[in-house]
Structure 1
Amino acid sequence: MGYAVVGYFDKATDEWIRRIWKELMVNDIDDYLYNSENNPHIKFAMYDNLKEIDIINAIEDISQTREQIDIIFKSYSFYPNDQPFFNIDMATSMPLLELQAEIRRTCDRSSTLFPIDFFDAGIWKPDCQLTREVDKKHLSNIAKCLYEKKLPIKGKLESIGLIKFHPAKQIIRFNLS
């Protein structure tokens, strides 16, 4: 079982991304995210294991000192693994970088990091996952689906929380001040 500290979006942005998840499900490309017990989100860190109460307290403390962040979704991308997954990329901003750095400083103390470096300083990029893992035969269908979804899209990062996965389940969520 893994965990992630995540950020959630405003209602309009959430619904826009959910429509993409639904279209990918209806077209038999990927139904995992649409059927999960979670909302569209940005991952700030992923952990193999953690002390839940410590992380919940840390996230709550951070949420009380951080304001909501304006965000812009600017492009689509994918990780070319054996079973690739697709994302929508967000413009990097100082408030996002500062929030991610604070989450890492605070939450890493009570956790064991996932054995990947995607969340390290200088490597992490803000994005929202659109698929989990898909068969390569769907690449052109995904590209057609995303081509219809014009960018940029402006939104807000309104809250941060903790999820457990697989399957994805939201544990806690706190609004940013």
Structure 2
Amino acid sequence: MAKAKPIKKASTGSGQIRLIGGQWRGRKLPVLDSEGLRPTTDRIKETLFNWLMFDIHHCRCLDLFAGSGSLGFEALSRGAGEVILVEKDATVAQQLQRNLASLPAAQGQIINTDAIGFLQSPATAFDLVFLDPPFHRELLPNVCQLLEHNGWLNVDAKIYIEREQASESLLLPSNWRLLKDKRAGQVNYQLYQRESE
């Protein structure tokens, strides 16, 4: 008889995220330990959602490398109309589903697939996209081109990018205009707006 694999449990301490604003402010959600999972820090998240203060309400959001769900769930808490969270790791996606179910009437959806595969499916346009991929995998160039050229972005969509500071300059679509640019430790984070070409 095969030995059952132990169930992966959420760890304590860093194994949770905290919603820092909106209707579920202060709510803590468990996060599974998983290689490469790096929840966005509260400090960066506070800055980002200050930038988005007038854009988040009722907008349609895509959290493409959802991981802990920190950005997607924060957007829901602050009044986003709908948030799609895409996560490749099945176990992590299951935890995201449990966390989503714990937020009453949250207009969210968890999709368990990889980002590239998702972006090659039929597109529906988003107002806001969060891109916080695993570091050192060079996923952003391809993902940004697919977002732009496959119909995933509304005309004036905003795109948030979080990446490692040491990475080379990023080749982005020419019609993405940089709005905000900051650093925190080893992390660069930027907000872009798509403009019609």
TM-score by length of 1: 0.29
More strand by share: 1
The structure with the largest alpha-carbon Rg is: 2
**Relative to total residues, which structure has the larger helix share, 1 or 2?**
1
TM-score, length basis structure 2: 0.27
- Of the two structures, which has the highest relative contact order with CA contacts closer than 8 Å and spacing of 6 or more? 1
